[in-house]
């Protein structure tokens, strides 16, 4: 570098120093602007990477207190009308005009017989469910185990007995089939001779045709008798043919049967034999009716029937009696097989049930049964609490300490919610505030409240709702109701006219399922809670930094109850202990300071800027 260049450089540097020394503020501003511009340009070339982390929790059981908040003013000494909280007949009055009463002191009682009985019933139900759980969780006694084991052994013995009886029934059935077919050929031969033999006509016609001809001769000119004769003859002959055909087929099947045949073959042959015997008996009966009709008609006409007719009737009577006896035995066999088979089926079913009972007894109570019984206890506890609350409404009490005036109660009077029971005059202060119609609908007489005062930081008093105006006031289209809260305790620093803030416990739900209010999401009027399915396990699940998942959680529809703005009651949709997403944290991971500054909406600062999303 030559001397001129050095001189020039020193000149620039000197001028720069001179400028900085004379314009320090501008120099700082220009320097900051240059740095920020470079920071911004670096952020544009290094975009942030968004990351969603899920903060996990579980469905808990707890107590939720719904609070209604409002503001108003402190009122000086006042008088309040005491109203019953329910309807009924006065059974007892405990005060007189001018009596001093303390807060909560009973003034009168309303007939509460039904409500008292409801409380006693609820107590009994609770005790029964507690005893049932205790009994369910008790280990089995040796006597119970022995009884169940004996029942299983007895069932097994009964199965053996039933199987033995069934085997005997098959053997008896086989024997009766054989016995029937030993006599059936002779009976079938008798039927054939009686119907198609020619003895009655001396070899000219079948006996059936001979009997019909004799009847037709008598019935000449009488079409009714002629038709009857033909009908009797045709029925007898048709039944004979049918029985003979059935007999021939059954006899062939019978010849294939042996004592070693399968039980199913014996059962089938038993049914076939019974049907064949029935058909043969029907044929005998129709022939008997025809011949008997023939003899009666001839005798009525003063004619003598052929001797063969009497002989046939004698044979038919004997054969019919024989077949009826066989039918009775075959029917008994059929019933025995059915009964013994059903006995085996029923005993096997009983054995299965008794074995399951023994296994359950040895394994102890089922976890689901225990949980169900615990739920029953909880339901009965809630029912008892509701019954006791309802019973308490039948006692008219003083909402705060004061003097009774204008007592309007007598034993036997009927009162309701709108009845003025008495006037309570007090020197204590009250808080008067106005609530919108939605919040006012949640507030009831006797609700507890916490009171704070703008003018007295740190002071907190308790109170009780002593009056809810039944009439609303409309202001610019908004309906509001006046609420009065009696101070439970007094403080001399509280002055009339001071602003008072009240948090009223409008509802208390105990032992209910609850989740953080941030877990509740609303989509198109439906409430949901995010749930991972399957749940996320391990150390990551309990991390305070949340978890990252490539698979988003599912939206599970839920029905919600009351909320205290921190936790919300779950009426349905979730179960105790179920894993849920409390909220999500979306962080903008950065690759440059400029990008981080941009994500925050400005310059400066570094690191991730989390955005927490609730429901």
The strand ranges marked E within 204-350 are none
CA nearest 567: which of 7, 89, 225, 61? 61
- For the cut 60, the answer to whether the pLDDT of residue 608 exceeds it is no
User: Is residue 607 within 8 Å of residue 66, measured between CB atoms?
Assistant: no
Using the 3D structure, point to which of 479, 511, 543 is the last residue of a domain: 511
Residues 309 and 211 in one domain: yes
pLDDT band at 594 (very low <50, low <70, confident <90, very high): very low
Tell me how far apart the alpha carbons of residues 115 and 178 are, in angstroms, rounded to a whole number: 78
Residues 470 and 575 in one domain: no
Q: How many residues does the chain have?
A: 615
Query: Percentage of the chain with pLDDT > 90?
Result: 53
Using the 3D structure, point to which of 474, 491, 511 is the last residue of a domain: 511
Hey, CA dihedral for 603, 604, 610, 613, is it positive or negative?
A: negative
Residue 472 has which token pair?
């609303």
Q: Is residue 536 part of a domain?
A: yes
Residues 529 and 597 in one domain: yes
User: Is residue 351 within 8 Å of residue 154, measured between CB atoms?
Assistant: no
User: Is residue 399 within 8 Å of residue 87, measured between CB atoms?
Assistant: no
User: Is residue 129 within 8 Å of residue 376, measured between CB atoms?
Assistant: yes
Q: b/e map of 109-141 (b: 16 or more CB within 10 Å)?
A: bbebeebeebbeebeebbeebbeebeeeeeebe
The strand order across the sheet containing 402-405 reads 78-82, 422-426, 402-405, 100-101
| 8-state DSSP, 592 | S
User: Is residue 536 within 8 Å of residue 488, measured between CB atoms?
Assistant: no
Residue 180 has which token pair?
């029937």
Residues 525 and 477 in one domain: no
- Alpha helices, H only, 410-548: 437-440
Residues 598 and 464 in one domain: no
The strand order across the sheet containing 611-613 reads 49-58, 579-589, 611-613
Q: Is residue 40 part of a domain?
A: yes
Taking CA atoms, 98 is separated from 101, 407, 423, 498, 501, in Å, by 9, 9, 10, 30, 33
Query: Percentage of the chain with pLDDT > 70?
Result: 86
Q: Is residue 404 part of a domain?
A: yes
| 8-state DSSP, 445 | T
Q: What pLDDT sits at residue 593?
A: 31
Q: Is residue 345 part of a domain?
A: no
Domain that holds residue 483: 62-110+392-511
Using the 3D structure, point to which of 281, 311, 327 is the last residue of a domain: 327
Tell me how far apart the alpha carbons of residues 413 and 110 are, in angstroms, rounded to a whole number: 9
Tell me how far apart the alpha carbons of residues 136 and 528 are, in angstroms, rounded to a whole number: 37
The 10s digit of each residue's pLDDT in 436-463 is 988 998 898 889 999 999 999 989 999 8
Q: How far does the chain reach from its first CA to its final CA, in angstroms?
A: 70
Q: Is residue 373 part of a domain?
A: no
At 455, give phi and psi (nearest 5°): -80, -15
**pTM higher than 0.75, yes or no?**
no
Q: Mean pLDDT lowest for which of 146-155, 228-237, 310-319, 361-370? A: 361-370
Q: How many domains does the chain have?
A: 4
Residues 270 and 398 in one domain: no
3 state DSSP class of 503 = strand
Residues 435 and 491 in one domain: yes
- For the cut 70, the answer to whether the pLDDT of residue 524 exceeds it is yes
At 316, give phi and psi (nearest 5°): -60, -45
Residues 207 and 75 in one domain: no
Burial of 451 (0-12, 13-18, 19+ CB in 10 A): buried
Residues 486 and 606 in one domain: no
Q: Is residue 129 part of a domain?
A: no
- For the cut 90, the answer to whether the pLDDT of residue 349 exceeds it is yes
Tell me how far apart the alpha carbons of residues 206 and 195 are, in angstroms, rounded to a whole number: 7
Q: Is residue 198 part of a domain?
A: yes
3 state DSSP class of 518 = helix
| 8-state DSSP, 306 | P
The tally of CA atoms less than 13 A away on the side-chain side of residue 124 is 6
pLDDT band at 564 (very low <50, low <70, confident <90, very high): confident
Q: Mean pLDDT lowest for which of 38-47, 399-408, 409-418, 596-605? A: 596-605
Residues 304 and 402 in one domain: no
Residue 609 has which token pair?
């800027």
Q: Residue 522's domain is classified under what CATH number? A: 2.40.420.20
Taking CA atoms, 553 is separated from 267, 362, 522, 545, in Å, by 64, 41, 15, 17
- For the cut 80, the answer to whether the pLDDT of residue 28 exceeds it is no
- For the cut 80, the answer to whether the pLDDT of residue 302 exceeds it is yes
Question: What average pLDDT does range 497-518 have in this prediction?
Answer: 90
The 10s digit of each residue's pLDDT in 57-102 is 889 999 998 888 999 998 765 678 888 999 999 999 999 988 989 8
Q: Mean of the per-residue pLDDT values for the chain? A: 85
pLDDT band at 362 (very low <50, low <70, confident <90, very high): confident
Q: Residue 98's domain is classified under what CATH number? A: 2.40.30.170
Q: What pLDDT sits at residue 139?
A: 85
pLDDT band at 108 (very low <50, low <70, confident <90, very high): very high
Residues 534 and 519 in one domain: yes
Q: Is residue 279 part of a domain?
A: yes
Residues 410 and 443 in one domain: yes
């Amino acid at each position: 570098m030559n001397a001129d260049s050095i001189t020039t450089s020193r000149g620039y540097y000197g001028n720069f120093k001179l400028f900085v020394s004379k314009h320090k503020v501008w120099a700082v501003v220009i320097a900051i602007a240059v740095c920020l511009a470079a920071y911004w340009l670096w952020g544009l070339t290094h975009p942030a990477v968004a990351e969603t982390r899920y903060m996990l929790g579980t469905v808990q059981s707890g107590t939720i207190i719904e609070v209604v908040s409002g503001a108003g003013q402190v009122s000086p000494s006042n008088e309040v009308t005491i109203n019953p909280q329910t309807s009924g007949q006065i059974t007892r009055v405990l005060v007189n005009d001018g009596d001093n009463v303390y807060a909560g002191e009973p003034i009168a009682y309303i007939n509460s017989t039904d409500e008292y009985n409801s409380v006693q019933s609820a107590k009994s139900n609770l005790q029964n469910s507690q005893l049932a759980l205790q009994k369910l969780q008790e280990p089995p006694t040796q006597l119970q185990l022995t009884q169940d084991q004996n029942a299983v052994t007895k069932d097994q013995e009964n199965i053996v007995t039933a199987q033995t009886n069934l085997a005997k029934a098959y053997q008896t059935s086989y024997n009766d089939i054989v016995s029937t077919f030993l006599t059936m050929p002779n009976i079938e031969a008798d039927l054939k001779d009686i119907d198609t033999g020619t003895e009655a006509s001396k070899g000219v016609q079948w006996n059936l045709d001979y009997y019909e001809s004799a009847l037709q001769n008598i019935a000449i000119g009488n079409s009714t008798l002629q038709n009857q004769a033909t009908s009797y003859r045709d029925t007898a002959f048709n039944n004979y043919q049918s029985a003979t055909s059935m007999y021939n087929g059954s006899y062939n099947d019978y010849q294939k049967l042996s004592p070693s045949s399968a039980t199913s073959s014996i059962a089938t042959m038993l049914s076939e034999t019974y049907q064949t015997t029935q058909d043969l008996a029907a044929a005998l009966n129709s022939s008997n009716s025809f011949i008997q009709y023939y003899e009666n008609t001839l005798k009525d006409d003063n004619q003598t029937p052929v001797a063969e007719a009497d002989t046939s009737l004698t044979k038919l009577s004997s054969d019919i009696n024989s077949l009826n006896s066989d039918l009775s035995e075959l029917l008994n066999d059929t019933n025995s097989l059915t009964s013994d088979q059903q006995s085996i089926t029923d005993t096997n079913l009983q054995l299965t049930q008794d074995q399951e009972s023994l296994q359950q007894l040895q394994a102890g109570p089922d976890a689901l049964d225990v949980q169900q019984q615990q739920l029953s206890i909880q339901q009965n506890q809630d029912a008892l609490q509701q019954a006791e609350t309802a019973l308490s409404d039948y006692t008219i009490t003083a909402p705060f300490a004061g003097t009774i005036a204008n007592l309007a109660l007598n034993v036997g009077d009927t009162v309701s919610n709108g009845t003025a029971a008495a006037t309570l005059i007090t020197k204590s202060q009250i808080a008067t505030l106005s609530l919108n119609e939605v919040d006012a609908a949640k507030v009831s007489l006797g609700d507890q409240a916490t009171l704070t005062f703008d003018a007295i930081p740190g002071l907190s008093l308790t109170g009780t709702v002593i009056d809810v105006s039944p009439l609303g006031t409309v202001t610019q289209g908004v309906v509001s109701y006046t609420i009065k809260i009696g101070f439970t305790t007094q403080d001399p620093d509280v002055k009339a006219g001071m602003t008072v803030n009240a948090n009223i416990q409008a509802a208390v739900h105990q032992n209910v399922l609850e989740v953080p209010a941030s877990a509740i999401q609303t989509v198109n009027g439906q409430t949901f809670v995010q749930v991972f399915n399957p749940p996320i396990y391990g150390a990551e699940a309990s991390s305070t930094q949340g978890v990252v998942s490539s698979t988003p959680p599912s939206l599970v529809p839920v029905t919600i109850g009351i909320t205290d703005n921190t936790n919300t009651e779950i009426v349905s949709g979730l179960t105790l202990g179920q894993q849920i997403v409390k909220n999500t944290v979306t962080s903008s991971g950065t690759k440059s300071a400029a990008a981080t500054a941009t994500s925050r909406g400005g310059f400066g600062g570094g690191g991730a800027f989390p955005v927490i999303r609730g429901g």
